[in-house]
Structure 1
């Protein structure tokens, strides 16, 4: 597990303006779409927000490790409502295997099992769900990084939403 990158993210999140964090935020990759936020805009515009991974891919060491914001096309077969329209969203990818995305990219790039990544970064695995703040995510990252490997599975299970 790349604890160095995870701890860098925790450090960053602890210093982040609370108004700049939203654990539910999915960035849009196109200037023509509602919710578009480029890495540059995220870093320079005090009105933009992102989730933990949205912020992570702006950090120099995460970029050097190969993480970047790619795109995912949401097509008709992905949509549950007939009133929904296809769109493109931003999703984390990893340079060494661009075919994987989201938690699979985190798994490969950080050597962090998917269930563990979900326990760290998915709002459904926090008691306060959409109101989870950056500090809470940073604390959980630190807890995971300091837990002995033989105890990690129990920690993951304790945080995982099983409903």
Structure 2
């Protein structure tokens, strides 16, 4: 487990303006719009928001782990509802294996246990779901980083909502 990358994110989240954090969304231009936000835009445009993974991909240790945000086309064949429209969104990817995305990319890139990325970063694994604060996520990251390796799987199970 890449504790350095996780703790760098925890430190960052503790200083982040809560208005710039939304655990339910990948990096977007706004809460109600689908859009792609570059690293530069996210850093320099104070109206943008991101989830913990979106912010993590800005950090040096996450970049060194090969994680980055790229465009992802949601094509008609991916959509279940016939009135849904194809669109472009952002998705975390892994340089060493571009076929991986989302939590699988984070798991592999940060050498996490199965389901650990979801437990740390998915809103459904928090009691307050979409109202989860950046400090709450930072606190959970720190909790996981303090646990000995042989006890991590048991801790994951206690939080896993799936």
If the length of structure 1 is used for normalisation, what is the TM-score?
0.91
Measured against aligned partners, the alpha-carbon deviations of 1:21-55 in whole angstroms (never above 9, x if no partner) come to 000112359xxx84332211111111111000000
Matching residue of 2:86: 86
4+ residue runs over 6 A deviation: none
Count of aligned pairs: 159
TM-superposed CA distance for 1:71, in Å, is 2.4
Structural RMSD (CA):
1.6
TM-superposed CA distance for 1:107, in Å, is 1.6
If the length of structure 2 is used for normalisation, what is the TM-score?
0.91
Q: Distance in 2 between matches of 1:75 and 1:50?
A: 23
Matching residue of 2:61: 61
**Unpaired runs of at least 5, structure 1:** none
Matching residue of 2:123: 123
Q: Distance in 1 between matches of 2:18 and 2:60?
A: 21
Q: Distance in 2 between matches of 1:57 and 1:150?
A: 28
CA contact (8 A) 1:74 1:87 kept: yes
CA contact (8 A) 1:106 1:114 kept: no
TM-superposed CA distance for 1:95, in Å, is 1.0
TM-superposed CA distance for 1:72, in Å, is 2.1
Matching residue of 1:99: 99
**Unpaired runs of at least 5, structure 2:** none
Q: Distance in 1 between matches of 2:128 and 2:145?
A: 22
Measured against aligned partners, the alpha-carbon deviations of 1:80-102 in whole angstroms (never above 9, x if no partner) come to 21110111211111111111111
Matching residue of 1:74: 74
